[in-house]
Amino acid sequence: MNPTVLLIEDNPQNRYLATYLLERRGYRVVTAENGPLGIELAASLAPDMILLDIQLPAMDGYSVAQALRRLAPLRTTPIVAVTSYAMAGDREKALASGCDGYIEKPIDPISFVDQIAAHARAHAANGDPA
């Protein structure tokens, strides 16, 4: 079965591009346009990986990551932050809130899926079942 990626992203163009790139490589993609919906979908779908925009309305990606980690089935699911924040410390903040990795926007269409796959491999190599 193809791996399922949950993409939590409020920007429609970013959702479209990431979905297109992932589906083209055989991933199943489910999208959420805000944090609460993303958390609800994550709980019901148990995706293989979560791509998480940090700049989201109302509930930012850091809070979403923390909430996801409180759900037992999602404790070891790879969560990769996708953000355009360039300020120093944001990467550390994403990792501290429960994300496993970090991809910078703008999305590079050439390397995006390979970057995600590399995060998944690194995560698996660390011994987590997900």
Residues that bind Mn ion (CB under 5 A): 10-11, 53, 55
Closest to Mn ion by CB, 10 vs 23, is 10
What SS3 class is residue 11? coil
Residue closest to Mn ion (Cβ): 55
Q: State the nearest-atom distance from the C-beta of 74 to Mn ion, in Å.
A: 21
Closer residue to Mn ion, CB minimum distance, 37 or 124: 37
CB of 105 to Mn ion, least distance (A): 9
Nearer to Mn ion, 31 or 123 (CB): 31
Q: For residue 3, give the 3-state DSSP assignment.
A: coil
Provide the minimum distance between the beta carbon of 106 and Mn ion in the complex, in angstroms, as a whole number: 12
Cα–Cα nearest to 115, from 78, 86, 89: 78
Calculate the alpha carbon distances from 78 to 48, 57, 106, 130 in Å: 7, 22, 21, 7
The span from the CA of 70 to the CA of 126, in Å, is 20
